[in-house]
Amino acid sequence: MMDFSQIVPALPDLWEGMKLTLELLVMAVVGGIALGTVLALLRLSSNPLLSGFAKGYVNIFRSVPLLLVIIWFYLAVPMLLNWITGDFVPVGAFASCLVAFMMFEAAYYCEIVRAGIQSISRGQANAAYALGMTYGQAMRLVILPQAFRKMMPLLLQQSIILFQDTSLVYAVGLMDFLSSARSRGDILGLPHEFLLFAGAVYFMVSFFASQMVKRLQKRLAV
Q: What is the pLDDT of residues 23-55, one digit of tens each?
A: 999 999 999 999 999 999 999 988 999 999 999
Residues 159 and 177: their CA atoms lie apart, in Å, by: 17
User: Which domains does the chain carry?
Assistant: 11-220 (1.10.3720.10)
Average pLDDT (78-92) is 72
Average pLDDT (7-18) is 92
Whether the CB-CB separation of 170 and 181 falls below 8 Å is answered with no
Whether the CB-CB separation of 181 and 14 falls below 8 Å is answered with yes
Whether the CB-CB separation of 6 and 190 falls below 8 Å is answered with yes
Whether the CB-CB separation of 44 and 114 falls below 8 Å is answered with yes
Binning pLDDT at 50, 70 and 90, where does residue 88 land? low
The pTM score is 0.89
| 119 Cβ contact list (under 8 Å, min separation 6) | 147, 150, 151
Q: What is the pLDDT of residues 89-144, one digit of tens each?
A: 667 789 889 999 999 999 999 999 999 988 888 888 888 888 888 888 888 888 88
Q: What is the pLDDT of residues 177-192, one digit of tens each?
A: 999 999 999 998 998 9
- pLDDT on residue 208: 95
